[in-house]
Structure 1
Amino acid sequence: MSLYKRGNTWWVRFTAPSGERIRHSAGTTDKQAAQEYLDRLKVELWQVHKLGEKPKRTWKETTVRWLKEKEHKADSKHDLEKLRWLDQFLGDKTLDEINRDLIDQIAAIKKRETSPSTANRYLALIRAILRMARDEWEWIDKAPRVRLYPEPKKRVRWITREEAQHLIAALPEHLADMAAFTLATGLRQSNVSYLRWDQVDLNRGVTWIHADQSKSRKAITVPLNKDAQSVLNRRLGTHPEYVFTYKGKPQQVASTRAWKKALKQVGITDFRWHDLRHTWASWHVQNGTSLQELMELGGWSSYEMVLRYAHLAADHLQEAAQRIEGTNLAQSDIKNGLRLIVSH
C-alpha cells in the first residue's frame, strides 16, 4: 500500500519514476490529507523526472543541510536556537512558498517580542539560508529580498581602570579572577571559562586558544602581560585541569547574580560581561596600540571589526593636524592686518 500508519500518523511509501524508493511521514493523522499529499508528491516527482523541473524542497530539508554544512561554526548552536523558533512559521513550507510577505510577517512578530536588532539576526539567517539554497545548492532559481530593520549604531561600552578596580573588588574570588584575566588578555568569556592548564605556558608567558575554540576558527596565541600572569599564579593548584573553576567545575556562565550584584554595588550600569573585552580593547587603543596590533591580539578575523575603537585613538592624527598650524586666519594679528589692507 502507498499509505500506511505508524502510530496515529500516516506515512507514504512508493517507487518514484526515477526508481528511487520513497518512504517518509505525511505529517498528518488525517487519511484524506495524507492521500492528497501522496498524490501531489507523485505529480511533483513525475514533473521532475519527465519534464526536468526542480524538485520542491522543504524548509526542513534546507535547514538540515544548512546545519550540517555549518556545524564547524563556533556559533552554530545559536543558529539552531533561531531555527527552532522559525520552525513554527516555516516548518511545513516549501521554499517556493517562502516569499517577502511571509518573511515580513515573521520579522514583525519577532520585533514585537524582542527588538529590531534581534529580529535582524533572524532575518539575516533566513536570507543566508535562502541564498545558499539558490547559489550553492541550486534548489531554487530566485530568493526573496529580505529587508532588515534600521538599527542605531551603539557606542562601545567600556569602563575606566578605577571602575574596573572597584568592580573586581566587589566580585567573589572566582569571578574576580576571571574578570581580571579578561581585562588583561581580552579573551572571550567561553575561552576564559574553559581555559585549561595545558593551554598555558608560564615560562614563555603565553596561552593559546585552539582553532576549534575560536570564534574565527583560527588558532590564537595570547601573550600574557604581568597582570595576566599574576592571576594565573594565584590560580595554580586550584584545579588539575581547568584554570578557572567554581566548586570544582568550569564557570560556564559569568553573568550570574553575583556579577549583577557587584555591578549594582559599585554603580556601573548597562555593562555586560562581554564589555570587559571592549574595555580591554579600548584601553589598548587609548594607550597607543595600533588597530592592526589590536586585531591580532584580539583574534578578530577582519580589520573592520576593530574600527569601532578607532575614535578612541586620535593621537595618531595629531601630527597631521599640526601640518597647517599658522594658517588660521582667525588669529587676531592676521585679522587686524587684513582690516588695515581693506581700509586703504
Structure 2
Amino acid sequence: MGSNISDQVVSLVEVGLAKTWEDATERWLFEKSDKASLHSDKCIIRWLCPYLNGLTLSQIDRGVIDDIVLKKLKSGVANSTVNRMLALLRAVLRRASSEWEWIKTAPRIRLLKEPVRRVRFLTLVEAQRLLSHLPEQIALMATFSLATGLRKSNVTGLQWSQIDMQRCVAWVHPDQSKTRKAIAVPLNLDAMRVLALCKGRHPVYPFASPGHMCVSISTSVWKRALADAGIEDFRWHDLRHTWASWHVQNGTPLNVLQELGGWESSEMVRRYAHFSAGHLVAYAERLPKVIE
C-alpha cells in the first residue's frame, strides 16, 4: 500500500518536471475558451512568454515570480496592472496543481497593494460638453452608454435583434456578458432617442456605419475630444461609472443598481454608496440642535 502511494508521488513529480509553462497555457486557453476576458489572458500570457517559456512548472518558484514582478514594475505600469498578471499566473499554477495534478503544490503568490481610487465620473454639464466634441456616430454611442450603463463591448456588439422598441427594452446574451449571465436593459428616453436616430443606418448593428460590419471607437478621436472638452483622466469605461453615479445620486437603491448594471457581486456596487445619503438624513436630524 505504502509503495503504491510512493509511486503515485514520484509519478506526480515526474509529470511536473515534464510539463512546461507552454503546456499549461495551452491547456488553460483551451479550457477557458468561453471566458469573457480571454483576450486579456492572451495578452498577459504573451508578455510572460520571454520569461517563462522553456521552464517546467516546477521551476516557476518565488524567485522567478519576484524577478518577473520587478521587470513589470520597471516598465512603469501601475500595481493594478501587475496584479492582473499575477492573478492569471496564480490561477494557471493552481489549476496545474489542484486539477491537472501536474505539480504537487503551486507557489504562494501575493498581490501588490493598490491605492484606493476615487470613482471617476462626469457632471451633466461635462458630459454634454464631451458629447458636443465627439463625431456624431461616437457621440450617439457615448450617449447610449450614459443612458444604459452598458460596457463598450456590449454597445459595439449590440444588434437590432436584441432590441424591442415597443417594450423599450434591450438584452445582452449570456455569451456577451462579463458574468456569463443574460442582462435585461431597460431603455430610457435618451436611449430610445439614440436608437431612433440610428434606424436605417445598418441592417444588423445600430451603431455601425453604412457599408461597415465592424463597430469601433478610435482612441485618437476619443482623446482629442477629451482635450477639446477640457476633461482629463477619463476612459470610455468611466461612462459606465458616470451612469451608476448619476443613478445613486438620484435615489436608485444599490440593489436595483446591481441588477441594472448586471454586477454579480454587491461589493462591485458598494463603490457608489457614498453618493447616496438621502436615506440617512432623517437619522442625522435626530441629534439635539446646537444652534437655536
Unaligned runs of 5+ in 1: 1-46, 334-344
Find the counterpart in structure 2 of residue 104 from structure 1: 66
Q: Are 2:281 and 1:281 aligned?
A: no
Among 197, 202, 226, the alignment partner of 2:160 is 197
Among 50, 53, 57, the alignment partner of 1:95 is 57
Q: What amino acid does structure 2 have at the position aligned with 1:154?
A: R
Task: Quote the offset at 1:244 in angstroms.
Answer: 0.1
| Change in CA separation of 1:49 and 1:130 when aligned onto 2, cut-off 3 Å | closer
Question: Tell me, what secondary structure is at the counterpart of 2:170?
Answer: strand
Question: Tell me, what secondary structure is at the counterpart of 2:171?
Answer: strand
Percent identity reads 53
Distance in 2 (alpha carbons) for counterparts of 1:53 and 1:176: 57
Distance in 2 (alpha carbons) for counterparts of 1:216 and 1:180: 24
Question: Tell me, what secondary structure is at the counterpart of 1:106?
Answer: helix
Q: What amino acid does structure 2 have at the position aligned with 1:200?
A: I
Q: What amino acid does structure 1 have at the position aligned with 2:178?
A: K
Of Structure 1 and Structure 2, the greater strand share is in 1
Task: Quote the offset at 1:50 in angstroms.
Answer: 11
Question: Tell me, what secondary structure is at the counterpart of 1:221?
Answer: strand
Q: What amino acid does structure 2 have at the position aligned with 1:76?
A: L
Q: Deviations over 1:290-314 (max 9, x none)?
A: 1111111011111111111111111
Q: Deviations over 1:241-292 (max 9, x none)?
A: 1100235325643253222121111111111111101000000000000111
Distance in 2 (alpha carbons) for counterparts of 1:250 and 1:191: 15
Among 35, 41, 48, the alignment partner of 1:79 is 41
Find the counterpart in structure 2 of residue 28 from structure 1: none
2:12 and 2:104 in contact (8 A); partners too: no
| Change in CA separation of 1:86 and 1:51 when aligned onto 2, cut-off 3 Å | closer
Report 1:1-344 matches (<5 A). Answer: 52-54=11-13, 55-56=15-16, 57-113=19-75, 114-246=77-209, 248-249=211-212, 252-323=215-286, 325-326=287-288, 331=290
1:194 and 1:250 in contact (8 A); partners too: no
| Change in CA separation of 1:106 and 1:238 when aligned onto 2, cut-off 3 Å | same
2:201 and 2:209 in contact (8 A); partners too: no
2:202 and 2:210 in contact (8 A); partners too: no
Unaligned runs of 5+ in 2: 1-5
Task: Quote the offset at 1:163 in angstroms.
Answer: 0.9
- Higher relative contact order, structure no. (Cα contacts within 8 Å, ≥ 6 residues apart): 2
Question: Tell me, what secondary structure is at the counterpart of 2:48?
Answer: helix
Task: Quote the offset at 1:74 in angstroms.
Answer: 0.5
**Highest CA radius of gyration, 1 or 2?**
1
1:189 and 1:254 in contact (8 A); partners too: no
| Change in CA separation of 1:319 and 1:51 when aligned onto 2, cut-off 3 Å | same
Distance in 2 (alpha carbons) for counterparts of 1:81 and 1:48: 39
Distance in 2 (alpha carbons) for counterparts of 1:197 and 1:125: 35
Question: Tell me, what secondary structure is at the counterpart of 2:271?
Answer: helix
| Change in CA separation of 1:92 and 1:231 when aligned onto 2, cut-off 3 Å | same
TM-score (structure 2 length as normaliser): 0.92
